[in-house]
Amino acid sequence: MAQEQSPTKKGYVELVKLAIGTAADAWSHIACTDATFTCDEDFENFSSGDHEIDANGLDRASATMTAEQTTIAGDTIQATHQFTCDTASQDVYGFAVFNSATKDLGDALMSCKFAAVQSLEIDDKLTCTGKCQIKKD
């Protein structure tokens, strides 16, 4: 499935802080997004919580974080989590990767908007995998 993914400007700033030891938190969580979400590099956070789904088993969750290879070994941060829709149907439009477990908080490393809405029914699973390659343009 084609999708749009974008590292964020704030994500790059936080990577520099992480590299020099001044970042508040490492990226560790994924949040599913609703229809009002727009994926772009200016996206920073869900400060009002308006875009983040927080029901039906799709709440912000811990991600499996790994270093992967896009061009050279270890140049890409990858976050993966499998959500399970558990209480009612839910439409999911994308996701974002954060450095906070708390809804409405944290900086977004990257965001993703699916090419098509994912309409989940009870017991459906959705695996979200976000990648952010660290490179010079």
pTM over 0.85: no
pLDDT of amino acid 67:
85
Structural domain containing residue 24: 3-133
Domain count for the chain: 1
pLDDT of residue 119: 97
pLDDT on residue 128: 97
- Tens place of pLDDT per residue across the chain (137 aa): 667 777 777 777 777 677 666 666 778 899 998 887 777 666 665 555 568 899 999 999 999 988 888 888 888 888 999 999 999 999 999 998 888 888 877 778 888 989 999 999 999 999 999 998 887 66
pLDDT value of residue 87: 94
Instruction: Of 89, 92, 101, give the one whose Cα is nearest residue 30.
Output: 101
**pLDDT number for residue 45:** 58
